[in-house]
Amino acid sequence: MALYRFNLRSTLTTQAVLERLRSLARERPGFGQSLKEGFGWRSDGTPPFIGKIEGNEFRLYRDIHYRNSFLPRIKGHVDSAIDGTKIEVSMNLHPFVIGFMILWLGLVGIAAIAALTAGSAVEALIPAGMFVFGVALVLGGFYPEAFKARRILEERIGGA
């Protein structure tokens, strides 16, 4: 279930694209390092992503200085093409967040429908509002971050 999927093309070779991806990502920091970085002790040259590149595939997420449960998880595959390299990218939510949001939206959706079928449109406003708020929260937290990640990948890999 990808919420955002796109392809990039680069005139670079597959190996050059993979090397650029490796320079954009670092391993997930340990507890002590995360604690230090949480207090602002992070160098300016820190790569913009955290994750792994294994073979021709990569799994990343942006290294941000704030909390966002809806931060996209980025999965990609690098293939050679006639005119360079093709990078297939899909972004989705963390599986726990997907499960929680399905539960939340399902419960408030059922509550809104139950209130409407009971003939109380006024009582349906609260669960309906919670449903709309939940959808807006997911979309507002996910898509701006997905667009930032795409822009970084396009700029640094040389997507055309």
Mean pLDDT of the region 98-123: 91
Nearest to 3 by CA among 108, 123, 109, 89: 89
The string of DSSP letters for 10-25 reads ESS-HHHHHHHHHHHE
pTM: 0.85
Task: Give the model's confidence band at 99: pLDDT under 50 very low, under 70 low, under 90 confident, else very high.
Answer: very high
Q: Own/partner pairs for 51-57, CB < 8 Å, 24+ apart?
A: 51/25, 52/25, 52/27, 53/18, 53/21, 53/22, 53/25, 56/14, 56/18
Contacts for 7 with CB less than 8 Å, ≥ 6 apart: 86, 87, 88, 89
Q: What is the mean pLDDT of residues 34-52?
A: 72
Burial class (CB in 10 A: 0-12, 13-18, 19+), 85: buried
Q: 9 Cβ partners below 8 Å, 6+ apart?
A: 81, 83, 84, 85, 86, 87, 159, 160
Q: Dihedrals φ, ψ of 118, to 5°? A: -80, -5
pLDDT in tens, 58-95: 999 999 888 899 999 999 999 998 888 999 999 999 99
User: What was the pLDDT predicted at 81?
Assistant: 87
Assign 41 to helix, strand or coil.
coil
Per-residue model confidence (pLDDT) at position 110: 95
Of all residues in the chain, the percent with pLDDT exceeding 70 is: 87
Average pLDDT on 100-111 reads 95
